[in-house]
Amino acid sequence: MSSYIEVENLSFSRGYRKIFNGLSLSIPRGKVTAIMGPSGIGKTTLLKLIGGQLRPEGGRVLVDGQDFQTLGRDELFKARAKMGMLFQSGALFSDLTVYENVAFPLRAHTKLPEDMIRDIVIMKLNAVGLRGARDMKPSELSGGMTRRVALARSIVLDPALIMYDEPFAGQDPIAMGVLVQLIRLLNDTLGLTSVLVSHDIAESLSICDHAIVIADGRVIGAGSPEELRRSDSALVKQFVNGLPDGPVPFHFPARDYKDDLLGVDDSDLLGLGGGRG
Amino acid sequence: MVESIQKLGRTGIEFISALGRSGVFLLRAIMGLSFTRKGVGLLVKQFYQVGVLSLIIIIVSGMFIGMVLGLQGYSILVDYGSEQAVGQMVALTLVRELGPVVTALLFAGRAGSALTAEIGLMKATEQLSSLEMMGVDPMRHIIAPRFWAGFMSLPILAAIFSAVGIFGGMLVSVDWLGVYDGAFWSNMQSAVEFDADVVNGMIKAVVFGLVVTWIAVFQGYDLIPTSEGISNATTKTVVYSSLAILGLDFLLTAVMFGGL
Ligand SMILES: Nc1ncnc2c1ncn2[C@@H]1O[C@H](COP(=O)(O)OP(=O)(O)OP(=O)(O)O)[C@@H](O)[C@H]1O
Ligand SMILES: [Mg+2]
């Protein structure tokens, strides 16, 4: 199994908080890989590190054998044209219509004639079920529609790699079903590599070929969905079954709950108590 | 005590680092201009947004300021019987000082704050990130056209401001207060020198244009992407720009007219 993305010993922090400390994982080529983990664990951050938007503090990230940190600005932008990313918020351009949003990457990177651009845009919008919304402005769309337009935009250049950040959030069951099929279909027909980040465990496990579970800045389980479901690691079990209690903490690191409620002075605890709770 | 020294140090370091970032940013904004068809299209669009849409406020303010100058000038000069000199007074005040300075102040409030808020909102809603991920450099696509459009609009707006102001001054002093119009114009023509007054005024406008647009665009690009961050940065744009305009105006005036 050849890997498309190789993350080696990656470390990264935000402020004083270490988000990744020696994270290593690999993402197979041509498959749908789901990266799952509790909220705030750094999934979006990981995608930005893969896309070269953030610079790792240690270790490296190879995408198709290429380390983006060694590229110049222009080369980096050229390399990125081969990847699509669906942002958690959609990130549509608010001054452009839906049609122009989807056409944007085509206009930026190709010299296709206008009627060809039109055909491609209409096809991609049709695939996400929003052909009829082409003249709307992003401010007129619902959250779920925004994300589907963003999806159409991120696949319009037929990239070799596509990263989805929470594609299922805010989708009704029908749209969800269509999206799941679409992600699968895109992956299989275009032969691209898909990375999907989500805490929607059931949906993710149902479409992915390979799943990686992250918690505490490291990989706690990886394998096929079947392997994960059968894993005997307590961490993975808790996550796959969605149990609130277990080794994966539900709480953001904080001091002791009782002390917090009783209002025990912060400064006494900061030195010793930071990790409790 | 130690804490306040620490805080001073931290503020100092942050200031220096922002200065460094903004310097690199300025270079990249200047270099980011492209003359492809797309690049020119973006520039023209921003010229409209930043320059043309500022025209109304510039024309109205220029008119009023010119009229006030005409009135004040007349009431001072008439005591010495030299009210014909009102034309030269209005023109010199506008061309040397008020044209560039007031235009730049208005521009900072009208266009500068809008630039900061627009870019800041694009950052907060990840539009800048998504451009980057699409392989489109936001420096080229978003920042450079706005920077250049703002920087080049200001001198033109300042010239329009001065022209309208002179017209307003003439309306008041000639048409209303009865100054002889031949004297009004000929005094103005003989007093205003092209290289000393007009060129120096234009240099001021160019410098203010650079500084105001630089501050506005950088504040938008560098802000903390929250609603609070956007409102802070917009305020900072107006405050920093105004202070920079007034401070620089003193410096430039001292160099140009003060014999420094
Ligand atoms: N711009 C930023 N500045 C400082 N800290 C940040 C920034 N962005 C994210 N963080 C921190 O980094 C951590 C990881 O954020 P990230 O957005 O990657 O989480 P996530 O796993 O995608 O969460 P979610 O599932 O809720 O989207 C969070 O705890 C957050 O506090
Ligand atoms: Mg996220």
Enter the ipTM: 0.79
Quick one: pLDDT at residue B105? 97
The β-bridge relationship of strands A83-86 and A161-165 is: parallel
Please give the pLDDT value at position A221: 83
Backbone conformation region of residue A21, classed left if phi is above 0, alpha if psi is from -120 to 50, else beta: beta
Q: Which residues pair with A164 in a beta bridge?
A: A86, A196
Q: In chain B, which residues have pLDDT < 70?
A: 259-260
Kindly report the nearest CA distance between residue B134 and chain A, in angstroms.
5
pLDDT in tens, B128-142: 999 998 889 899 999
CB atoms B129 and A89 under 8 Å: no
What average pLDDT does the segment A216-245 reach? 78
- Average pLDDT of A167-185? 82
The pLDDT confidence band at residue A274, using thresholds 50, 70 and 90, is very low
Closest-CA distance, B72 to chain A, in angstroms, reads: 46
Arch. (CATH architecture) of A3-248 = 3-Layer(aba) Sandwich (3.40)
Q: Give the confidence band of A171 by pLDDT, cuts at 50, 70, 90.
A: confident
How many structural domains comprise chain B? 1
* Contacts within 8 Å (CB) and 24+ apart, A43-47: A43/A165, A43/A197, A43/A214, A44/A88, A44/A165, A44/A197, A45/A12, A45/A14, A45/A19, A45/A20, A46/A7, A46/A20, A46/A197, A46/A214, A47/A85, A47/A163, A47/A165, A47/A195, A47/A197
Would you say the pTM of this structure is higher than 0.80? yes
Report yes or no: A44 at the B interface, CB cutoff 8 Å: no
Percent of chain A with pLDDT over 90: 25
pLDDT tens-digit readout, B44-74: 999 999 999 999 999 999 999 999 999 999 9
pLDDT over 60 at A268, yes or no: no
How far apart are the CA of B98 and the centre of ligand 1, in A? 49
Confidence band of A275 (pLDDT split at 50, 70, 90): very low
Residue nearest ligand 1's atom 11 by CA: A14
With beta carbons under 8 A apart, name residues in chain A contacting B135: 77-82, 105, 108-109
Q: Which residue of chain B has the CA closest to A86?
A: B130
pLDDT band at A245 (very low <50, low <70, confident <90, very high): low
| A232-243 mean pLDDT | 75
Return the structure tokens found at A32: 């749908």
Q: What percent of chain B has pLDDT over 90?
A: 75
Write the burial class of residue A253 (CB in 10 Å: 0-12 exposed, 13-18 middle, 19+ buried): exposed
Q: Which of B122, B132, B136 comes nearest A53 by C-beta?
A: B132
pLDDT above 80 for A264: no
Per-residue pLDDT tens over the stretch A197-211? 987 788 888 889 999
The total of other beta-carbon atoms located within 10 Å of residue B27's CB is 10
Phi, psi (rounded to 5 degrees) for A34 = -100, 130
Q: For residue A276, what pLDDT is reported? A: 41
Which residues in chain B have their CB less than 8 angstroms from residue A92's CB?
Answer: 127
| Residue B8, domain member (yes or no) | no
Q: How far is CA B233 from CA B212, B221, B230, B240, B241, in A?
A: 13, 10, 5, 10, 12
User: In which band, very low, low, confident or very high, does the pLDDT at A248 lie, cut at 50, 70 and 90?
Assistant: low
CB-closest option in B122, B134, B141 to A80: B134
The mean pLDDT value of chain A amounts to 84
Chain A residues whose beta carbon lies within 8 Å of the beta carbon of residue B121: 94
Residues B74 and B85 sit within 8 Å (Cβ to Cβ): no
Mutation test residue for ligand 1: of A10, A13, A17, A43, the one with most atoms within 8 Å of CB? A43
- B18 belongs to a structural domain: no
**pLDDT of res. A273:** 43
- CA distance to partner chain A, nearest, from residue B10 (Å): 15
Which residue range is the domain that position B178 belongs to?
32-256
